[in-house]
Amino acid sequence: MTTHLAEAPPANPSGAHRLARDARRELDDARDILADAVGADPGGVIFTSGGTEADNLAIGGVLRARPGVAVCSAVEHHAVHDPVDQSGGAFVPVDPAGRVTPAALEDTLARLEAEGRPVSVVSIMIANNETGVVQPVAELAEVVRRRWPQVVVHTDAVQGLPWLPLASLLDGVDLVTVSAHKLGGPMGVGALVRRADVPLAALALGGSQERGLRGGTQNVVGICGFAAAVAATAAARSVEVPAVTALRDRLAAGLVEAVDGLTLTVPGDVERLPSVVHCCIGGIESEELLFLLEREGVMASAASSCASGAQQVSHVLGAMGISPELARGSLRLSLGVTSTSAEVDAAVAAVAAGVARLRSHGGPVAGTDAERAPA
């Protein structure tokens, strides 16, 4: 497999000549790596332009092939939430930690059945992009399998792929969304992986690529980068996960210690990704804090980075029962494999200083609008 992107064959993999065949071979190698990572056959990998397209294909593609109701958790990324919403689908409530319980899923499906609304697809993300909470996806898939075996089960594993051994966690899951840029691969490439031969129709028409399930010339360079990132991540996971988890715990403990009125959004005994600390800070506006943090070189966000800037209270926090007042002071700090304990300590100090400053001002901090980049 090509690991140097400049060496990716400069040819359309659908062609017949030698360079095209080389490109096709690169795609096939990449399919092997992706399939291995999620426990699927290589033929099940459908390359897309990213996680958003893969999520849209999972929901819209199943509905197109088998019309019915789409169901997802109330805390999904918008790439799942919005197609489910637009199709008139249903949402499964979460507990205060942001988890879907088997009972809540079963209740939702039973209610839809009683209403005569047959469900086609259920989508529950394996890890949340705002809070990092990990869902018991295999247990939830088992609920679906037991009573509604014809329902397709999808999981958005964009956040899980870097940190979790997905292949061992996805029993009963038919479709899996992954994206390259969450594990250091290029932006603008992802995949929907079919782990079982479930009904699925293409949304992007106009070519027979990806077994007719996603028309359009594949992004060969991006796909090579994606596969290289997946392989490198899998090889380093046993070292990197404990190291980043320790940093996460240091960050969480440091914040609680340094900032009065700060609550961790997810209790410490709930399974979370190593990469996220999410908290809510009473009496401040996150937008103001983000501005101060950025000046100290700490790039944080208030909700998911996709939603921030819109200054709406996150639907994820709302679904967890967090009041709009508290959610207005929400902060998500992310860690990666290059993070260090010195950076963690500096972030804690910056948050503490920023909060103290905001509280002492009792209002907006100084700074022109032009100075304030969107969060």
Catalytic residues, which ones?
306
**Are 316 and 308 within 8 A, CB to CB?**
no
Return d(Cα 228, Cα 329) in angstroms, integer. 38
Residue 129 near ligand PLP by CB under 6 A: yes
3-state SS, one letter per residue, for 24-91:
HHHHHHHHHHHHHHHCCCHHHEEEECCHHHHHHHHHHHHHHHCCCEEEEECCCCHHHHHHHHHCCCEE
Return d(Cα 176, Cα 193) in angstroms, integer. 5
What's the DSSP call for residue 99? P
Q: What is the dihedral of CA 336, 310, 81, 315, to 10 degrees?
A: 90
C-beta closer to ligand PLP: residue 190 or 254: 190
Q: Is residue 82 exposed (0-12), middle (13-18) or buried (19+ Cβ within 10 Å)? A: middle
Which among 19, 34, 16 has a CA at the least distance from the CA of 224? 34
Strands (E), 253-301: 262-264, 276-281
Under DSSP, is residue 278 helix (H, G, I), strand (E, B) or coil? Answer: strand
Which range in 115-123, 156-164, 221-229, 275-283 contacts ligand PLP by CB under 6 A?
A: 156-164
x/- map, 236-275, ligand PLP, by CB under 6 A: ----------------------------------------
- Token pair 């090579």 is found at 224
Q: How far is the CB of 311 from ligand PLP (least distance, A)?
A: 18
Which range in 46-54, 97-105, 257-265, 352-360 contacts ligand PLP by CB under 6 A?
A: 46-54
Residue 123 near ligand PLP by CB under 6 A: no
Which of 24, 31, 77, 154 forms a contact with ligand PLP (CB under 6 A)? Answer: 77
Residue 55 near ligand PLP by CB under 6 A: yes
Which range in 81-89, 151-159, 203-211, 339-347 contacts ligand PLP by CB under 6 A?
A: 151-159
**Are 143 and 113 within 8 A, CB to CB?**
no
Residue 37 near ligand PLP by CB under 6 A: no
C-beta closer to ligand PLP: residue 223 or 350: 223
Under DSSP, is residue 133 helix (H, G, I), strand (E, B) or coil? Answer: strand
Q: What are the structure tokens assigned to 35, written together? A: 């399939």
Residues touching ligand PLP: how many (CB under 6 A)?
A: 15
Which of 159, 209, 218, 265 forms a contact with ligand PLP (CB under 6 A)? Answer: 159
Which range in 50-58, 89-97, 279-287, 288-296 contacts ligand PLP by CB under 6 A?
A: 50-58
Residue 51 near ligand PLP by CB under 6 A: yes
Residue 185 near ligand PLP by CB under 6 A: no
Residue 334 near ligand PLP by CB under 6 A: no
Binding site for ligand PLP (CB under 6 A): 50-52, 55, 77, 79, 125, 129, 156, 158-159, 179, 181, 190, 306
